[in-house]
Each structure stands twice: as C-alpha cells, then as structure tokens.
Amino acid sequence: MSDQDGTELTLPLASLRLDDLPRVGGKNASLGELIAELGDAGVRVPGGFALTVDAYRRHLTENGVWDEVHEAVEALDVEDVAKLAAVAREVRRKIASAPLPPEVADAARAAYDELSLESGLEAAGVSVRSSATAEDLPSASFAGQQETYLGVSGWDELDRTIRLCMASLFTDRAIVYRSRQGIAHRDVTLSVGVQRMVRSDSACAGVMFTLDTESGFRDVVLINGSYGLGEIVVQGRVNPDEFLVHKPTLRAGARPILRRELGEKRRKLVYGNAGTGELREERVGSADRGRFVLDDDEVLELARMGLAIEDHYSKRSGQAVPMDIEWAKDGRDGLLYILQARPETVHAQSKPQFDVFRVAERGKVLARGKSVGRRVGHGRVRHVHGTGDLGSFESGSVLVAEMTDPDWEPVLARAAAVVTEQGGRTCHAAIVSREHGIPCVVATGDAMRALPEGAMVTVSCAEGDEGRVYEGQLEYARESIALDELPESPVPLMVNMADPGMAMATAQLPCAGVGLMRIEFLVTNHVGVHPMALVHPEAVTASAERAEIRRRVAGFSSPRDFFVDRLASGVGQIAAAFHPRPVTVRFSDFKTNEYAGLLGGSAFEPVESNPMIGFRGASRYTDDRYRDGFALECEAIRRVRDDMGLTNARVMIPFCRTLEEGRRVLAELDRNGLARGHGGLEVWVMCEIPNNVVLAREFSELFDGFSIGSNDLTQLTLGVDRDSESLVHLFDERDPGVKRMIEMVVESAHAAGRPVGICGQAPSDYPEFAAFLADLGIDSISLTPDSLPTVARHLATR
C-alpha cells in the first residue's frame, strides 16, 4: 500500500522482486523471493507483508526523533557498558512510545486485515521480525541484534509490537555491533516483516545451515531442531537434535543422512496468553525427549529446501552463498515452512587456511560438551548469570553461563573462551564465538557447578566434536597453513583418519583422499560395546554390563541397528568429507585384549599370551567366534555405499596371513553383500606380513591394491614386539631390511598392475623416508594430517 505521494509503505511478501530489496532490507525480501521464485522447488514459506524502510523513516522523522536518537548514540563510548545501557534504553523508549504516522498505521492495518482474511481468522496470529538494511552483509551477520516477537494477535497488539521492533534497531548489542563493524548508525534503516505464525508450538522448529558451521565445509547441510517455537534453539536454551546431510549425493537421489544426534530437549517454548505475544516455557516429557523431532523424510525435505535456497542466492550473486535458515513445522497441517534465510557470514569470507591447534599437555577434564571453533584458549572463570554481571567482566576471562543472551554481545568479544550449559552448534553463543574467533563449548550440562569462579582453565575445541575444559593453564601450539601456498607434491598424498569430528576440517588439505580409516576409533568411542554382545546379548552375564548395553541401545530398533547406525554414521561423515576422493576403510583390527575391554567383550575373547600376532585381522572374519560381528561391519559399509550413495568408500582387509585366508574373506564379503567389483567396490589388503611381500603377485590376483602397514611389517621383519619397552631401540622402519621389503612389494605389485600405497607412521615422522618412497614410484603416501604440509614441501623442493 502507498501513501498520497505514491511511496510504498507495505509490500506483500508474496509479490516481492529483486528491485524491492532496498525498501525491505534483507531477510524478509528473501522470503518474498522464496515465495515468488522457489515455490516450484518445494520451498514453503508463510505469507505476510513487510513495512518498508520508508515507513520506518517516516515514523522517526514525523515524530521528531530522527536527529535526537542518532546524536545520542553517536556520542556514546560503547565500552562504557552502564552509559550504553541507559542511553539505548531511552532511545528505544522514544521510538516505541511515539505513535505510528496515520498513513503508516492505515497501510499496516489494511495489510494485516487482508492477511487475517486470507487465513480465515478474525485476527491472525503473526510473528514480527526486523530486517535491517545493513543486516546479513557478506562480512557481518548481525545475528540476533534486533528483536523478534512471536504470537502477536489483533491490531492493537500488532501496532505496539511494530513500534517495539523499530526501536530494537537500537538495542545495546546492535549499537555496539555497528560501531565495531564501522557502520554509521544513520546509514542503517529497518523494515518490519509481519508473517503468519507457523504453529510450531505444537510441533518443532530450528535452524539450518548449508555448510558445516565448524569447518566451513560446503558439501553438507546441518539441521538443528527442538520442540516448540524455534527461538529457544536460536537462544541456546535447549540442547537440540542435530542432523547432517551430504549435498552431492542428496542431489543424486540418495538418502545421505550422515549423522543423527539426539538432543536432550528438556524444555520447549509455547504460547502464553492468546493474542498478547506472551510466551512461556514447558518441560518436555521423557518419552518425547527420547525421540527425534524430525523423521528421515522430513530431514531430507528440509535439506532439499536448503539446497534450493542456496542455489537461488548463489545464482543471483554469481558465487557460492552458504545460507543460514530458520525453519518450523506447523502442528496443525504437519508441513514444514521456511521462516527466513540469510547468507552465512563467518566462513563465507574466510581464506583457504588450515589452522592446527594442539594442546601440548593433558590435565584433569572439568567439563565436556560440544566444541565450537576448533581453537584453544585459557583464562580465569567468570560466571555470568545475567546482564548485571557484565559490568565486572574482565577481558581475557572465560565466560561461563547457563546460556548466553544477545544483550551480552558487548563483552563476548573480550572473552578468552565461552562455556555454556545449554545450546547447540547453531545457537547464539556458537554463532558469535565463531565470528569473534574464540573457542566455545556448549551443552556441558553442569559448567556453572564444575568450573569454580576464578579458577584458571584451558578450553579446548581442537580435539574433535567434543569440547573439553581442562583444569589449569595448559600449553598449546598453533600453526596456520595457507593452503593455496602449499606446493604440489610429486606423489599423491593422502591422510590417515579415525575421528569423524575432524574430517571436514582435514578434508580442506590438498590431499588425494584417505589412505587409512581406522574403524577401531568408532567402535571404541561411538559404540563402546563388543559387536558380538549386541548380536548375542544373552552371553553377557554381568548384570551391570547388560544394563549399560540396554541404556546405550535405547531408541534404536535393535542392538544390531545401534552398531550399524553408529558405525555407518562415522564412516559416512569421513567418506562425505572427502567425496569424491577415495576413502579406504579398514575393517576392524583390534587385538583380543583390546576387544575384551569393550562392554561385554570378556564373554567372547580368548586370553592370549601374545595378542599382537594372535587372533586378529582377517582370521576373525570367517571364524564363528566373530563372523556375526563382521556381518555388522559389512552392513554398515553397505549402508554408507548404497543408502548414502558414498561409493568412494572402499574397504581394506588387515593382517591377511595367507592366500587361502584372503579367498575365505572375499567369500564372506560376498555373502554379506559386498562382492568385490559389484557397484565398483574395490577391496584392498594391508601389506604388513612378510608373506604378503613374498607372494605379492599372488595376492594381486585377489585384491585391488596394497597399503603397506610399516608398523607391523617392521615388527615381523625384525622380530621385534613393537609394544616391548625393552626392544624399542631396535624398532626402526628405516632399517635396510624393512626398506628392501617395501622395494620388493612395490616392484611385484606394479608388475601385476596393482597400485601400492603406505599408511604406516614412518613417512609422517621422517620426511626423508617419504622421499625414499617417492623414488620407488609408490602410488600414494598416507600421512597424519598435521605432517602433510611438511612432507609436501619436502617432496616438492628436494
């Protein structure tokens, strides 16, 4: 609707076009585009209208407060927290208490009446959102700087809320944020978006990013969700469910849900008194807490919407634009809706750099949670219960709270680290911490109790998905590697991987794939139960172990499904991170004493005097004592390749002693749906036993390639137990005899047309050993990720 001069004061979201963007800021214009241009792609958004920036300007100018409020904030020292709060409060009061100009009010009321009529209601319930002209810039997200109001109903309440929303352009945090970004306050105006309320109070809502928020990896969609209104997820007041979906294989028609992580979801946000916009929190029952808020079909539907939105903005911008999206499910119609979409700003502007933080020592772990930021920091603990504690917060301290609030923005940038009891990786604390480059651990559950006020602690987010808070000030190192400056190695370099939490960051290295993925890490840390104990739980006699196994598998369709899901998720995350580069997944190679240490393991493992050369590797897979456990491993690989579409995952057999053993294992793979060559499946073998070298030509007839395990090959060539402290001085992979064995297998395998790589430790520790391998013509060298840059430089410059 326009005023008498033809200036448009409201615009229906459904009819917005690109040339409307300057008049309605960023986010809500995006909604208009989604309705108008992306409906055919399955993107569903609620209807509504936007008050243009012209309506905002007229509200301030016609009420005579434009110059007054800007002069007040321009004179502020934003580091003076008390003065900032007082001035900002008065500025907001002046804007919110002034009446809307008649023409603005008439236009807004007419648009609201039309929306109510379309909704079949006398007074539609709506959300009122800000959309500032400087918001969602490529270099600054302005996340949470202005206010959002939910569940507003009736014109009188909407009138009041529109003015409050306009006033929120001058929250304490927004003033500080603009000042630190160097954006003049007078250059920023605001439109107010009014959307039909999606009734997620009786369903669920959350946030979706079209990249990995920790590493910036672009090929996944990260979805967080919890019961009730989504504001509780954004604010970090709940530990939400988390889902991770792989984009390329989703586009190809697969169902690549890489990770499902059940959150606690202890509370939800719902409506209070009807029509007032008042909200209240309710506790979530234990049964609902034990279920995911979305089923697999809904997760995939949301991910497809995210792809459509990202594709749209990327095409419009002429470059890839990862997106930050809010979504909700309506409890009345059961449909999923997109509430807003804006560019992600933290990783979108980052340079191709690989930062490696290493904690040089270990201390007592005081708290654990989800890591945010891949960094390390230390300082003294400062508990923050509310805004009243901010004035005494000292720079360089570790901010510890139940959860953060957007009003704390002025002090968050001065913290050495942030630790919260609640929240997920897409909550306010996580977003702001990433933007300021500080480590953050969320969802600790008990940080306020576990971390005493004033205690010196070290906060580490550099050890995978789990963030840890250590007692004391621990030494740590940082190395920054400019990836675009690394020279190209004359030999393809790969990496050794075990922890899926590190995969997406590591995949940024210029490597040819994963030469060795050890699934033992996943079995130990993500499963923790002996596979046979899940197939035959009746054999576990200890009541405490049986109870713990039941606890771990709760929520899964069966104990078998628990193992398969956990293993497939871990393998899938690593395969997705490196896709389409090959990922070599080695089947389990625990020794019997290591297997016995798993829950229920002692019931299935023999006691051996020398497990290092005992019942391990290939010999287990066709033995009745482990055959059913191997079947679970195979089922997990099938899920990765067939369901997730990650056919870049290939498999490798460890410790295969004889040709006959190799044939039996291949037959067992075939029985478990992993026939060599079917669907392009490659089956490799570890070369770590002298017999593998001597009979390399014959082994070449059975397997698609060799990976030299120099640790075991050295042990068996020199006759040295690599676990023996007494013989440690004799264990050397550079021994002439070991090198001769490597030469022999490379020559024999190449003569048979098979590739040879190496995944042992020697080339990571000794760059000159990598040079020896390069001179042999080895096909690939797999290294620890932190050693790859050094080896690449050495091979390229020698």
Q: Which residues does the annotation mark as catalytic?
A: 428, 759
Task: Report the C-alpha gap between 283 and 281 in whole angstroms.
Answer: 7
Across 219-288, the runs of DSSP E, i.e. the strands, are 220-227, 241-246, 257-261, 267-271, 279-283
The position carrying tokens 């290294």 is 783
Residue 209 makes CB contacts below 8 A (sequence gap 6+) with 221, 222, 322, 323, 324, 325, 344, 426
- Yes or no: say if 456 and 380 are a contact pair by the CB < 8 Å rule: yes
Residue 144, phi-psi category: left (phi > 0), alpha (psi -120 to 50), beta (remainder): left
SS3 69: helix
Backbone angles phi, psi at 762, to 5 degrees: -55, -50
Task: Report the C-alpha gap between 359 and 363 in whole angstroms.
Answer: 10
* Beta strands 440-442 and 417-420, pairing class: parallel
Task: Report the C-alpha gap between 280 and 79 in whole angstroms.
Answer: 33
Residue 289, phi-psi category: left (phi > 0), alpha (psi -120 to 50), beta (remainder): alpha
Integer CA distances (angstroms), 713 to 438, 653, 695, 734, 760, in order? 43, 15, 14, 11, 9
Largest CA distance in the chain: 95
Taking alpha carbons only, the member of 552, 559, 718, 727 closest to residue 632 is 559
Integer CA distances (angstroms), 683 to 448, 665, 759, in order? 50, 10, 16
Q: Can you name the residues that pair with 497 across neighbouring β-strands?
A: 517
CB atoms within 10 A of CB 246: 27
Burial class of residue 546, CB neighbours in 10 A (0-12, 13-18, 19+): middle
CB atoms within 10 A of CB 195: 24
Task: Report the C-alpha gap between 630 and 523 in whole angstroms.
Answer: 12
The 3-class secondary structure across 594-655, one letter per residue, is HHHCCECHHHCCCCCCCHHHCCCCHHHHCCCCCHHHHHHHHHHHHHHHHHCCCCCEEEEECC
Q: Can you name the residues that pair with 2 across neighbouring β-strands?
A: 8
Task: Report the C-alpha gap between 662 and 587 in whole angstroms.
Answer: 14
Task: Report the C-alpha gap between 518 and 526 in whole angstroms.
Answer: 13
Task: Report the C-alpha gap between 139 and 501 in whole angstroms.
Answer: 27
> Structure tokens of 623?
């033995």
Backbone angles phi, psi at 652, to 5 degrees: -140, 140
Task: Report the C-alpha gap between 566 and 636 in whole angstroms.
Answer: 8
Backbone angles phi, psi at 377, to 5 degrees: -150, 160
Provide Rg for the chain, Cα atoms.
29
How far apart, in Å, do the first and last CA atoms of the chain sit?
72
Task: Report the C-alpha gap between 370 and 447 in whole angstroms.
Answer: 12
Taking alpha carbons only, the member of 279, 115, 292, 120 closest to residue 201 is 279
